Amino acid sequence: MTRVGALVALILAASASEDRPRPLFDGRTLAGWTVVGGKAGNWRAEGAEVVCLGLGKDWIGTNREYGDFALSLEYRLGPAGNSGVLLRSPRKGDPSFAGLEVQLLDDDAPAYRGLHPWQYTGSVYGVAAARRGAARKAGEWNSLEVRLEGSRIVVRLNGTVVLDDDLARHPEALPKHPGIGRPRGLIGLQSHGDPARFRNLAIRGLGPRAGEGSPEGLGPDPGHPSR
């Protein structure tokens, strides 16, 4: 094989590797994740699941940043449960505003009647409302897929597309939600003070902006959780 041929083969192999979904959770520990704020012990790995005990408001984020990607996971909430999946979030600041939050909620709970449309499951919190009706009852597992490329976001809940929107079409939200303009950041899971469980977390990079990076101060190693 010529030197040029070998180089092309390496490039193609790297591209193929990036196209495959990769797990974000090893199924045993919280290595590669860091808890931000909150009480010690609120997050743990248990039975191939990332478990939030609901001991207050905080979040757990990846140690690596992501740009354009397809993210998939399953989640389960209890009655009146409230949580979220955080995208392109910085380590500092409120990740629901400084980044993006895909809302997770027990939509049918009486306590949540009369909310804003963008507060229900699958919505980009405070920015874009998802179509309702695809979420399962509290206590059941839900599958969530999020595809984020540039400013376009597609959210699929239990196999149904509930949101397909261009975040650039919401300039009115930018002052309060500057995160809609961020090109990359951390993937996170939110504790809103309610128990929640997550499993089968995987991510696939998309296009030239898929590349991973390490946030400032964490270095290139995925490392270990803060608590």
> The whole model's pTM is what?
0.86
Across 11-38, average pLDDT = 80
Across 24-51, average pLDDT = 96
Report strand pairing: 33-36 vs 57-66: antiparallel
Cα dist. 159→52, 70, 86, 123 in Å?
Answer: 25, 14, 20, 15
Across 3-21, average pLDDT = 52
Residue 65 is which amino acid?
A: E
Q: How confident is the model at residue 13 (pLDDT cuts 50, 70, 90)?
A: very low
Looking at the domain assignment, is residue 225 inside a domain?
A: no
Neighbouring C-beta atoms of residue 86, cutoff 10 Å: 26
Q: Kindly tell me the number of DSSP H helices and DSSP E strands found in the chain.
A: 2, 13
Q: Which residue has the higher pLDDT, 96 or 215?
A: 96
What's the CA gap between 14 and 61, in Å, rounded? 26
Looking at the domain assignment, is residue 179 inside a domain?
A: yes
The chain-wide mean pLDDT, for the chain, equals 88
Looking at the domain assignment, is residue 33 inside a domain?
A: yes
Across 1-12, average pLDDT = 48
Q: What was the pLDDT predicted at 207? A: 80
What's the CA gap between 157 and 39, in Å, rounded? 30
- Given a contact cutoff of 8 angstroms between Cβ atoms, the answer to whether 79 and 196 are in contact is no
3-state SS class at 49: strand
What's the CA gap between 43 and 177, in Å, rounded? 26
Q: Find residue 76's DSSP bridge partners.
A: 197
Looking at the domain assignment, is residue 105 inside a domain?
A: yes
Across 94-115, average pLDDT = 97
Share of the chain above pLDDT 70, in %: 83
Looking at the domain assignment, is residue 211 inside a domain?
A: no
Q: What was the pLDDT predicted at 20? A: 85
Which residues have a Cβ under 8 Å from the Cβ of 80 and sit 6 or more positions away? 106, 109, 111, 112, 138, 194
Looking at the domain assignment, is residue 226 inside a domain?
A: no
Q: What was the pLDDT predicted at 5? A: 52
Q: What are phi and psi of 7, to 5 degrees?
A: -65, -45
Q: What does the pLDDT look like over 137-186, one tens digit per residue?
A: 999 999 999 999 999 999 999 999 999 999 999 999 999 999 999 999 99
Neighbouring C-beta atoms of residue 153, cutoff 10 Å: 21
**Domain count along the chain:** 1
Report strand pairing: 100-105 vs 82-89: antiparallel
Range of the domain at 44: 22-205
Looking at the domain assignment, is residue 218 inside a domain?
A: no
Q: How confident is the model at residue 218 (pLDDT cuts 50, 70, 90)?
A: very low
C-alpha 69, offset from chain centre: 10
Q: What was the pLDDT predicted at 17? A: 44
What's the CA gap between 121 and 162, in Å, rounded? 9
CATH number at residue 104: 2.60.120.560
Q: What does the pLDDT look like over 109-136, one tens digit per residue?
A: 999 999 999 999 999 999 999 999 999 9
Looking at the domain assignment, is residue 223 inside a domain?
A: no
